[in-house]
Structure 1
Amino acid sequence: MKRRHRATAPAAAVGVGKGVERPRIHPKDLWTEALSGVLARPVRSVLTTLGTVLGIGTLVVTVGVASTAAHQIVGRFDALAATSVTVVVPPPPPASETVPLVGWDDVDAVGRLAGVESSAALAQSDELAAVQVRANDVVAPGGLSGQTLAVVAASSSLPVAVRGEVTAGRFYDRGDIARGARVAVLGDQAARLLGVTRVEDAPAVFFNGLSFTVIGILGGIEREQRLSTSVILPPTTARDRLGLDTVNRVLVNTSLGAAQQVARQSPVALAPGSAKALTVLAPPDLSRARKGVQGDVNGLFLVLGLVSLIVGALGIANVTLVTVMERVGEIGLRRALGASRRQIAAQFLLESTTIGLLGGVIGAALGVVVVVAVSAVKDWTPVLDGRLAVGAPVVGAVVGLLAGVYPSLRASRMEPVEALRAPS
């Protein structure tokens, strides 16, 4: 009798649930049951997983593309704004015979600084900011002739410093500067206004009663675009002929990330004893700008990814709940055979978590592929956060776990008798 009682007691006393030791389910068996539940309806499981795939994939794509685009945006303005440093030299006191703070040869000291790619010095004055310049020496009676242009002096490295190119002829060199040659280079807009398109015939420009041979035209100016409407002279020529000798500005181009360091060192290199008298115009810190742009873009697209993820979670919850309603008979049978409420809840939680995990793995993989593909098409450098790619499957599993809480509780609260009586 005792042997018979032991064999039938668990099945008979399951409905009461008091004083009876519940059979334990090994985690491996629980995982097998959950996997069987997922694979029992493959089409539905695939469609349910697709919701999580879209959510996780959208999250990875939006954050990845946003980070890549942010770096690209920063990289675009880096090329000019974030690598340009300007040192402003104050004018000397009136009627002063002191040595200028910055001389033309002092620019070479800046070029030797680490991170400097090119540099040039400029000299301008208010008297030569608006000069009547003619392309011939014939003065029309009864009025002025020619164009109002600015006349400046610059070192021979100016084309590289302003990121321009000589479109016709050549730029003056150190030999022209040493000889004090009466030559000039026109900005492309100035040449167009004066009707100078070729320099092979050595055209001349006239102003202040002097003539200068045009040897080149400077175009494509990206920095200091006002030079496109200027007449540019060698420093010695401007000093001897026009009295223009004081350096007003020093243009410095740096490599990416070196602007702040060069901005601190340039005044000391130009005027070691009077560095504080110079004013440096430098771009803002590159790292702060990058973080600001990337943060704004990431915040905008992250919302879209989270919304997609919520949609996927609702899909898992809905399908899991429908599955519970369809498996009422199975739940009742498991409860009658001794399964506890906790075991029933754990099974359905594990099923929803499995679906979320699979969706997270597939979504993360597809998201990474899309980010790399978009970057390849746009010729960008892909920027991917490894923590996001690795953590996406975990996020998918957590989403599946949370989505399955209510359906699993609903399943665990079913009484064996009522479940078995329910229509299949």
Structure 2
Amino acid sequence: MNDTPVRLSLVDVFGLGLVGLRTRPLRAVLAALGIAIGIATMVVVVGIPASSQQALDHQLSALGTNLLRAQATFDQVTQKLPPVPEDAAAMAARIGPVERTSAVANTHARVLRSDRIPMEQSSGLTVLAARSDLLPTIGARVASGRYLTDGTSALPVVVLGDKAATRLGITEIRRGEPAPTIWLGGRWFTVTGVLAPIPLAPDIERAVLVGWPAATTWLGFDGHPTVVYVRAQESELENVRAVLAATVFPKNPARIEVSRPSEALAAKRIAETTFSGLFLGLAGVALLVGGVGVANTMVISVLERKREIGLRRALGATRGQVRTQFFTESVVLCLLGGLTGVALGVLAAASYAATRDWPATIPPTAALGGVGSALAIGVLAGLYPAIRAARLTPTEALSAP
């Protein structure tokens, strides 16, 4: 007679793990529901703040959190602005993480609403020579009319910043009507556009923008930029800032003042840190509650099924097989609850994001972590009940009331 115990296949082990779930379906559903609620809570508390953070990131990025401003400073010795190279913007574009560059220059011209106004009563607005690629670089847009193009930059036309337009009384360019004009540099210039507010570029809001070639032709502009705008990758912003002055003006970098990363970028990074801490705290509480519920269910299951355990032991089942049965049952129970919880959590987080007009953002780590956490909970919650069941002797189990 062969006393060697029969080795169970994976199919047999899985089948044994489902015995308790099939014989007590209501209890299994309630236990799985407990772990599902815990996992769903984890996914929700990760998904909703992640969606909110994504929406916040979009809003802050739209303001230009990755925008740097390199400005030439007044030289006290020469009493002039330093002659920054004409191709300074192109030089800055060679820095690896830089995505866009553009430049403006102060022409020192005076602008009037009409040629009847005395020159000493000028509006006090700055007249800047601007390139046609300025708007996408600083994240600005046209509120009315149109911006300078490569074709119109050589013509006597201007675009007004938001505050400059208000001061000059030209806040809108109406189609079908003659375009308004202003007196600039001793001649009339046609206003073709008005910009929307630019919170991170107030100097542009208070400026009258003239095409680079037009400023050279009619305003005596020498071609040297005074401000270079650089948009770079956020993760490399500090590194770009460190080399920007020497790049745009290698002759004398000390005469270039580079702006610090905006407060909006700092706020964005603080929000990311705050949200990360919130994720870990809430998810941990939810998983702890679910794990305690499953462990409690498995312990009660062992107590109620002593006769079943005793009968299996009397028929030749080994301690290891009994241990495997209850251990597998716990893992399968938690896995089913975990999959259900992930599905419910994703649905709830996506639905809430849709009601707030946020982009639905469910980090893959949340879904995979939910399933992995459920398996881990199943292992931990089933370990003690499985060991306890395996320690029962056949006589002890069969004599239980």
TM-score, length-scaled by structure 1: 0.69
2:144 maps to which residue?
167
Q: Separation in 2 of the partners of 1:166 and 1:32? A: 68
* Equivalence map 1:338-357=2 (5 Å): 344-357=322-335
Is 1:271 aligned with 2:236? no
1:218 maps to which residue?
194
Of 62, 71, 96, the residue aligned with 1:88 is: 71
1:33 maps to which residue?
16
The CA deviation at 1:300 is 0.8
* Equivalence map 1:50-65=2 (5 Å): 50-64=33-47
- Contact kept, 8 Å, 2:35 with 2:337, in 1: the verdict is yes
Is 1:324 aligned with 2:305? no
* Equivalence map 1:84-163=2 (5 Å): 84-95=67-78, 100-104=82-86, 106-110=88-92, 115-123=98-106, 137=116, 149-157=124-132, 158-162=134-138, 163=140
What's the CA shift string for 1:370-416, capped at 9, x where partnerless?
Answer: 66777788573746336x64554443233123223444455456565
Q: Which amino acid aligns with 2:83?
A: L
1:302 maps to which residue?
280
The CA deviation at 1:261 is 6.8
Is 1:229 aligned with 2:206? yes
Secondary structure of the residue that 2:18 maps to in structure 1?
helix
Q: Separation in 2 of the partners of 1:122 and 1:220? A: 20
Q: Separation in 1 of the partners of 2:210 and 2:317? A: 96
Residues 382, 243 of structure 1: alpha-carbon distance in 2 compared, 3 angstrom cutoff: closer
Residues 357, 188 of structure 1: alpha-carbon distance in 2 compared, 3 angstrom cutoff: closer
- Contact kept, 8 Å, 2:65 with 2:265, in 1: the verdict is no
1:16 maps to which residue?
none
Is 1:402 aligned with 2:380? yes
1:43 maps to which residue?
26
* Equivalence map 1:381-400=2 (5 Å): 382=361, 384-385=363-364, 389-390=367-368, 392-400=370-378
Q: Separation in 1 of the partners of 2:397 and 2:111? A: 101
Q: Separation in 2 of the partners of 1:132 and 1:288? A: 37
Q: Separation in 2 of the partners of 1:176 and 1:56? A: 59
* Alignment size in residue pairs: 388
What's the CA shift string for 1:26-63, capped at 9, x where partnerless?
Answer: 33466543322221112221221122222233334444
Q: Separation in 1 of the partners of 2:326 and 2:149? A: 82
- Contact kept, 8 Å, 1:104 with 1:155, in 2: the verdict is no
Residues 358, 240 of structure 1: alpha-carbon distance in 2 compared, 3 angstrom cutoff: closer
The CA deviation at 1:87 is 0.9
Largest Rg, 1 or 2:
1
The CA deviation at 1:314 is 2.0
Q: Separation in 2 of the partners of 1:341 and 1:417? A: 14
1:283 maps to which residue?
261
Residues 391, 421 of structure 1: alpha-carbon distance in 2 compared, 3 angstrom cutoff: same
Residues 269, 174 of structure 1: alpha-carbon distance in 2 compared, 3 angstrom cutoff: farther
Residues 413, 73 of structure 1: alpha-carbon distance in 2 compared, 3 angstrom cutoff: same
Residues 420, 194 of structure 1: alpha-carbon distance in 2 compared, 3 angstrom cutoff: same
Q: Which amino acid aligns with 1:101?
A: P
- Contact kept, 8 Å, 2:323 with 2:390, in 1: the verdict is yes
The CA deviation at 1:119 is 0.4
- Contact kept, 8 Å, 2:111 with 2:183, in 1: the verdict is no
Is 1:196 aligned with 2:170? yes
Of 241, 249, 256, the residue aligned with 2:227 is: 249
TM-score, length-scaled by structure 2: 0.72
Q: Separation in 2 of the partners of 1:45 and 1:331? A: 19
Q: Separation in 2 of the partners of 1:405 and 1:197? A: 74
